[in-house]
Structure 1
Amino acid sequence: MNRYSNALLIYNGKAGQEDMDSTLGDCIGELTSCCDELTLYGTKSKSDAERICREKGGNYELVIILGGDGTVHECVNGLAGLPVRPKTAILPAGTCNDFSRSLMIPQNIKQAARLIKYGRTEEIDIVRENDRYFSNFWGIGIIADASQNVNEAVKGVFGKISYYLSAFQTLQEAETFTFKADIDGKSVEEKAVMVFVANGRFIGTSELPLPPQKYNDGVVDIFIIKEAGFKLLKEVLAAKGTGKLNEKSGEILHFQAKNASIETTPVQSTDMDGEVYTDTPVQMDVLNRHIPFIVGEEERKEAAE
């Protein structure tokens, strides 16, 4: 059994009190049995989780993130700049919980709490984008437009369905942009409707059609989508779970890289882990084995071999 001298649990303090009391009740028993000292902090406003992780994270052996991808993104941005990063765990309580899925964390709160008690720790790659960080994905074009089009009220009712509805709508209205990129020293100049960088394996709860990879291989997958439309969408969906992408059409370019710089005309909004608040140009660098996370079972494709 894992044992921690002290731990900080960060959760959404603005959530409904009854729902949060129930969620905390599902996990506190497991956590107190393996944490000698457990401190709870309820966030009060946007970026509060990032601030607390930056100011207090280094004082704890374990930081536990109770929330969805947005909360994880905030906490990663607070922790990634620390000289020594604490062990970090995720209790998935959001709409999609994509990064937790990449780490094979159970989507049931009680089971995820039990994983903190008995799971293993892996040092996970994090990506720095200019002076910010992301753990799961980065994108410009269609994907950023889709995130901005998601109606928060609808999202609260229909969850991940709202993302797909927005994505389909955006595909119909996609506009091309010109970009110049340096990808591990290789120059690429194209017109595209989307550039997507994957550090995790899931988006919108769907597994990406990626070859087997480790949590800490030191590279990201970069996809350049050159033409929009349902033909492209069907091509990508058809590849789901096969570990292969059909690149013969020339509509998709795929690279693996440690570093990349991208500038666009016109300027594009960037989506990091579902949060849109920065613009191109950007410099991206993979920070290898940067934050130790508690993870689930061995990666499925490797375990099957």
Structure 2
Amino acid sequence: MKKAVLIVNPSSGNEEAVEYESQAERKLSLFFDEVEVKRTEEKGDATQFAKQAAKEKVDSVFAMGGDGTVNEVISGLAEQDYRPKFGFFPLGTVNDLGRSLNISMNPQKAISSFDVERITTLDIGKINADYFMNIVAIGGIPEAISDVEVEEKTKFGKLAYFISGVKQVLNNKTYHFQLEIDGETMEIESSAVVIVLTRTVGGFQNIVPEAKANDGNLYLLYLKDQTITDTLKSVPDIVKGVDQSTDNIGYKPFTKGRLTMKAEADLHPSVDGDEGPELPLDFEVLPQHLKVYFGSESL
């Protein structure tokens, strides 16, 4: 008997989850003998539900919610002895992984177009003892972006992140980082260091056009800035997409690394939009770690 577990965050997408939950359950019932719906009530619930589903060896686990919910479900499945296939119906503000997998940002369309035959593999990032599916960002601008309130996200969508980032530029400062990337040591001065898995960042597509869902790489990006003017110079490079280092942006694909700071600073990394672990940070990619359902268009 094929069983699926649908993990729903009722507060996601301006509380749209309840509206779409029954539609998703009906759709999944066309492909699975049993569909069990679990609703989250607090942070960490989705991770525990996913771990339990892996323990029970269900066929597939689906998330319905924003990036935070997707991160929790993936974190519950990562490095389990048995890992169910993973799928999701995006409801939040940004949904970078959904965009990278060509899943519609319209929940009704994402549900109606789902097909169990469309499946591929997915890389997962590991940071210390945690996991990420899209981005880790360190620096003043990323910290400001991760602090965007839910009300602002609901009102302005992904523009809320841009507004917060622009405000922070005026007070931005640089930090001295040391990186060990695939055995190579680098020292950089930057206001922002970013590690990404997907081509879409902050809802803006093709920021890292080379990144694929299952290419086995992490991608390092950092601003080569020491002044506000330097920071602003990097914007055109980011907007057109980064596939090599420039005068304004550092870029390097890698598989394993470590980030430390040369001097103490009160920095809180952002992991998939939420506050992450304290520095130092150890990164690695778990290649083709999950089987994942993708959208209606070819990858």
**Fold shared by both chains (TM-score > 0.5):** yes
Match of 2:18 among 17, 21, 36: 21
Task: Tell which deviates more after alignment, 178-187 or 144-153.
Answer: 144-153
Which string of whole-angstrom CA distances, capped at 9 and with x for unpartnered residues, describes residues 129-155 of structure 1? Answer: 110000101110034322343123322
Aligned to 1:167: 165
Contact residue 237 and residue 249 of structure 2 kept, 8 A: no
Aligned-residue sequence identity (percent) comes to 28
Q: 2: distance between equivalents of 1:150 and 1:230?
A: 24
1:207 corresponding residue in structure 2: 205
Distance 1:12 1:184, change over 3 A: same
Most deviating of 254-263 and 8-17: 8-17
**CA distance in structure 1 between the partners assigned to 2:23 and 2:228 by the alignment:** 44
8 Å contact 2:208–2:242 — kept in the other structure?
yes
Return the match for 1:105 from 92, 96, 103.
103
Unmatched 5+ residue regions in structure 2?
none
Report the AA paired with residue 288 of structure 1.
P
For the residues of structure 1 that align with 2:36 and 2:13, how far apart are their CA atoms? 20
Counterpart in 2 of 1:76? Answer: 74
Q: Secondary structure at the match of 1:133?
A: strand
Does structure 1 conserve the Cα–Cα contact (< 8 Å) formed by 2:53 and 2:61?
A: no
CA–CA separation in structure 1 for the residues paired with 2:160 and 2:214: 32
1:34-73 per-position Cα deviation (integer Å, ceiling 9, x unaligned): 1210000000111111111122334211001000101011
Q: What amino acid does structure 2 have at the position aligned with 1:46?
A: K
Q: Which amino acid aligns with 1:147?
A: I
Shift of 1:245: 5.4
Which of 106, 124, 132 is the equivalent residue of 1:134?
Answer: 132
Deviation at 1:18, TM superposition (A): 7.9
Which segments of 5 or more consecutive residues in structure 1 lack a partner in the other structure? 300-305
Shift of 1:207: 1.4
CA distance in 1, matches of 2:113, 2:155: 29
Q: Give distance in 2, aligned partners of 1:19 and 1:242.
A: 32
Q: How many angstroms does 1:17 deviate by? A: 11
Match of 1:298 in 2: 298
**Alignment CA distance shift 1:19-1:192 (3 Å):** closer
* TM-score between both structures, scaled by the size of structure 2: 0.90
Equivalence for 1:302? none
Q: CA RMSD in A?
A: 2.3
Alignment coverage as a number of residue pairs: 294
Per the alignment, residue 303 of structure 1 pairs with: none
| Aligned position for 1:92 | 90
SS at match of 2:51: helix
TM-score normalised by length of structure 1: 0.88
Compared CA separation, residues 158 and 239, structure 1 to 2 (3 A): closer
Residues 239, 162 of structure 1: alpha-carbon distance in 2 compared, 3 angstrom cutoff: closer
User: Paired residue for 1:54?
Assistant: 51
Contact kept? 1:69, 1:274, Cα under 8 Å: yes
Tell me, in whole angstroms, the C-alpha distance in 2 between the residues paired with 1:239 and 1:165.
Answer: 16
Instruction: Tell me which residue corresponds to 2:228.
Output: 229
Pick closer, same or farther for the CA change 1:143–1:293 going to 2, 3 Å. farther
Q: d(CA) in 2 for partners of 1:206 and 1:290?
A: 25
C-alpha separation in 2, matches of 1:171 and 1:273: 21
SS of the counterpart of 1:9? strand
Q: 1:226-248 CA deviation, whole Å, 9 max, x = no partner?
A: 2153664454445535564560x
Tell me by how many angstroms 1:255 deviates. 0.7
Alpha-carbon contact 2:198-2:208 (below 8 Å) kept: no
Deviation at 1:266, TM superposition (A): 2.3
